[in-house]
Amino acid sequence: MSVQHDPVQRADFDQVMVPNYAPAGFVPVRGQGSRVWDQSGRELLDFAGGIAVNALGHCHPALVKALTEQANTLWHISNVFTNEPTLRLAHKLVDATFAERVFFCNSGAEANEAAFKLARRVAHDKFGPEKCEIIAATNSFHGRTLFTVSVGGQPKYSDGFGPKIQGISHVPYNDIEALKAAVSDKTCAVVLEPIQGEGGVLPADLAYLQAARELCDKHNALLIFDEVQTGMGRTGELFAYMHYGVTPDILSSAKSLGGGFPIGAMLTTTELAKHLVAGTHGTTYGGNPLGCAVAEAVIDVVNTPAVLDGVKAKSEQFKARLRAIGEQYGVFSEVRGLGLLIGCVLSDAWLGKAKTILDAAAVEGLLVLQASPDVVRFAPSLVVEDADIEEGLARFERAVAKLVNA
């Protein structure tokens, strides 16, 4: 029996919420697979995936089962104790990656916060306080805490909040010479997204990541990959570093890790992890049994040849159709990305209009994202059905056709 709730509408948002978001005019109430329904009962196909979070769509049976079983078992116990779902998930992440140690938290920003603090702590312990500089990329995004906006390369997110965290510099992405010029013996870490997600779905060049690895090794700096958006199967490999064959020292994960349940993780080696001794870092909810139980189910489903190969095949299906739409209507200059993180770069005539396109798509019954005002981004479920891809892209084409012919 469902509980009777007081009725609420989109207009309530403007009455009771802090206005830091500008949500769509309709309110989704239910989701199943790659579909959601709003309050009026209207059905929409979801290629936004909750911003690359719903890796297995909505209400995937394996995740519902893991969550409800855990909900009937143990919700929260704190890190004064450990718990079984945490230990099982950590084992699975360690078995599947370069990492030997895991720190759990609740979001991507917190995973990066832990990564940056670890990098500084390691450098401080081994080389002294001078070695504290972090090199990051222009246009990068690493979260919204003060440390992570300071490291992120988008001043619109970091300006106007008082003094920023010091010792951070930004270099143009994919520019090897600029990175070479910036890294020194004072560098404690280089932080990169293997594909810049929020910045416009811009993949790193292989040579760039290789150069970053070499420079870090030469200067005793740590290489941090922010895989919050690119991880957990999104690119067709469990993590994007596997696609490139360049291994970081520290990796941050969140978003798809929980498939819609909040969880983040920082992965690293034993050698580095030992610098975060008991008491140096922590968070109340980190390693929460509910989140870890769901994430365990996510990794069990995602880290299989069937799902990862499926991502690669679906990627081709998306890209072929999107390139055809781009050519027919002259809206895209490029369709890029890896796996099911796809960015359609708008042509000159459409620059700045990504929001217009995603609003038009919603009218046709399709949820998509933007990544900067110049890129339309697709981050659907990794198990989106082929028929849903066709139907969703037909809706997308209708939206584009209407805009072009308007």
**Residues tagged active-site:** 141, 226, 255
Find the shortest distance in angstroms from Cβ 261 to ligand PLP. Answer: 12
Distance CA 191, CA 133 (A): 11
175: left (phi over 0), alpha (psi -120 to 50) or beta: beta
Find the shortest distance in angstroms from Cβ 183 to ligand PLP. Answer: 21
153 is in an annotated binding site: no
Find the shortest distance in angstroms from Cβ 39 to ligand PLP. Answer: 26
Find the shortest distance in angstroms from Cβ 382 to ligand PLP. Answer: 16
109 is in an annotated binding site: yes
- Please identify, using beta-carbon distances, which residue of 51 and 403 lies nearer to ligand PLP: 51
Number of other residues whose CB lies within 10 A of the CB of residue 156: 8
73 is in an annotated binding site: no
- Please identify, using beta-carbon distances, which residue of 60 and 255 lies nearer to ligand PLP: 255
- Please identify, using beta-carbon distances, which residue of 142 and 314 lies nearer to ligand PLP: 142
Residues that bind ligand PLP (CB under 6 A): 107-109, 112, 141-143, 193, 197-198, 226, 228-229, 254-255
Residue closest to 114 by CA, chosen among 223, 285, 241, 276: 276
- Please identify, using beta-carbon distances, which residue of 141 and 378 lies nearer to ligand PLP: 141
Strands 28-32 and 35-38: antiparallel
227 is in an annotated binding site: yes
For 295, phi and psi rounded to 5 degrees?
Answer: -65, -35
User: Residues comprising the binding site?
Assistant: 108-109, 141, 144, 226-229, 283-284
User: Residues comprising the binding site for N(2)-acetyl-L-ornithine?
Assistant: 144, 283
